[in-house]
Amino acid sequence: MTNEGMEGGPFYEDFRVGMQLKGRVGRTVTDADNIWFTLITNNSNQIHFNSDYARKYFPGEPFSGRMVVNGFFTLATVVGLLVEYTSMNGFMLGLDELRFFKPVFSGDTIYAECEVVEARESKSRPEMGIIKILTRGYNQNREKLVEFYRSFMVRKRNEKWSGRNQATQ
């Protein structure tokens, strides 16, 4: 199945196990993105914001003295590239089996795709469903950067959050 017809975001009924979705656009990362994200999240690892430090202490491959993009920025970007096709009508429940395969550097472009691996109705929230997707992020050379499972709760069509917990999920 393609992404077509999902402009307003999908509802629970739109998901099928095996469905594959691909982000429509990529996102090129800049030094400013990386430094801003790293410092605003209070990450004090200088490899993300101090080019002198990176040159002195990480001269070998794969870093070659370059600052590395914060892994959480990479993760957030991959998730964000897929939101309009996945959780636009819901919210994230969790991540599992997160693995990073290659570092990201300024100038790299991130792309994202996913496959629906589970879709079930919520037992505690009858107006919602729970979706689990296997998500992958790639760079401009189609090298895998990150892979993880993401679970999210999504509204059923013509429903809204009731705020009442009906039972145990």
pLDDT score for 161: 79
Q: How far apart are CA 99 and CA 117, in angstroms?
A: 18
Provide the CATH topology of domain 12-155.
Thiol Ester Dehydrase; Chain A (3.10.129)
Query: Per-domain residue ranges for the chain?
Result: 12-155
Cα dihedral 142, 90, 36, 49 sign:
negative
Say which DSSP state 138 is in: E
Per run of 10 residues, the mean pLDDT along the chain (length 169 residues) is 60 97 97 96 96 97 97 98 95 97 98 98 94 98 98 92 63
Tracing tokens 């570092």 back to the chain, one arrives at 103
Q: Which of 26, 25, 32, 23 is nearest to 106 (CA)?
A: 32
3-class secondary structure, 57: helix
Residue 9 CB neighbours (<10 A): 16
Cβ(146)–Cβ(93) below 8 Å: no
Q: Are 35 and 48 in contact (CB under 8 A)?
A: yes
Which pLDDT score, from 0 to 100, does residue 4 have?
A: 47
| Whole-prediction pTM | 0.89
Burial class, 4, CB count within 10 angstroms (exposed 0-12 / middle 13-18 / buried 19+): exposed
pLDDT for residue 117: 98
Rounded to whole angstroms, how far apart are CA atoms 97 and 149?
Answer: 6
| Average model confidence (pLDDT) across the chain | 93
